[in-house]
Amino acid sequence: MSRLEVRELSASYRRGTVLSGVSATVDAGGWLGIIGPNGAGKSTLLKAIAGLVRHEGAVLVDGRPLAELRRRERARAIGYAPQIPQLPIGLTVTDYVLLGRTPHLGLLGREGPGDLEVVRTVLDRLDLARLAERALATLSGGERQRAVLARALAQRAGVLLLDEPTTGLDVGHAQALLDLVDELRRELGTTVVMTLHDLTLAAQYAERLLLLDSGRVAAEGTPAEVLTPEALEQRYTARVTVLHTPDGSPVIAPIRG
Ligand SMILES: Nc1ncnc2c1ncn2[C@@H]1O[C@H](COP(=O)(O)OP(=O)(O)OP(=O)(O)O)[C@@H](O)[C@H]1O
């Protein structure tokens, strides 16, 4: 169970500031969706939390600054599935997903039956079992994306950062993935932070949403609080109507001009 705290995070690339004073807290087992228009800083925020871009401010897991953790400890604390990963394309799906188990291996660095079982289960759930021995290079875009997510899920880190995890996935595979993440959350108490452009899906799975605009927090709250037609018009320059599913979850429907 891991509680994530992001305090006053700021980050800049050479061209200028991309994140300014972003703060957020995600309770253990919570699910925070990061939304916002292109270029708002969503991916940079995840990379900063993962410790992959230089930033100011602090990221704490269960009150401990991540910057103080050793590499292996950090890999157990935080898992990250990037939007555009660098893939060792010669590896098979199984060997690649097994890399996710690295922070859990013993001194000899050999995987045990437990590690193989975790990998098998994740492959099965993400419909990758029949591709287990295929090289990553031979996979389709959506299959590759699922392999990247499988590796992050196999890591079983306390906090899971997912950058646009459903990009390139068909609706069924997208649902299977988010359902699996939800299960990990319920069973293991995994804390999830996910960026997503699909606002309807974000509303269905995330408990809370954080709307970023130009590197700042424009709104934070439950999906119903954040996803108002006014906010979407203002932040995305979009014409939308907000409908609701029978269980009350917002559905964002674009209106043709
Ligand atoms: N490596 C980099 N070097 C310079 N600028 C960068 C770099 N990465 C991102 N940026 C810039 O930082 C800003 C935020 O980018 P980021 O990828 O975090 O946005 P995003 O909200 O994830 O966008 P999208 O929805 O398009 O994926 C953008 O203006 C982008 O051009």
- Give pLDDT, residue 89: 86
Tell me the average pLDDT across 62-77: 92
What atom in ligand 1 is closest to the CA of residue 41? 18
What is the pTM for the complete model shown?
0.93
User: Which among 156, 180, 165, 159 is positioned nearest to 31, based on CA atoms?
Assistant: 159
Angle between helices 171-188 and 141-154 (to 10 degrees): 0
| Whether residue 2 has its Cβ less than 6 Å from ligand 1 | no
| Whether residue 39 has its Cβ less than 6 Å from ligand 1 | yes
- Ligand 1 centre and the CA of 135: distance in Å? 30
Question: Alpha-carbon torsion 253, 254, 256, 257, what sign?
Answer: positive
* Domains annotated on the chain, with CATH: 4-254 (3.40.50.300)
Question: Alpha-carbon torsion 85, 87, 93, 98, what sign?
Answer: negative
Sheet with 64-65, strands from edge to edge, namely 16-26, 4-13, 56-61, 64-65
Do the beta carbons of residue 185 and residue 153 sit within 8 Å? no
What atom in ligand 1 is closest to the CA of residue 197? 25
Quote ipTM for the complex.
0.98
- Give pLDDT, residue 122: 92
User: Which among 147, 142, 221 is positioned nearest to 174, based on CA atoms?
Assistant: 142
The per-residue pLDDT for range 184-216, each reduced to its tens digit, is: 899 889 999 999 999 999 999 999 999 999 999
- Give pLDDT, residue 209: 98
Whose C-alpha lies nearest to ligand 1, atom 9? 44
What is the rounded distance in angstroms from the CA atom of residue 42 to the CA atom of residue 193? Answer: 11
| Whether residue 15 has its Cβ less than 6 Å from ligand 1 | yes
| Whether residue 144 has its Cβ less than 6 Å from ligand 1 | no
- Give pLDDT, residue 15: 86
Model confidence at 238, pLDDT cuts 50, 70, 90, reads: very high
pLDDT > 90? residue 106: no
Express as a percent the part of the chain with pLDDT over 90.
81
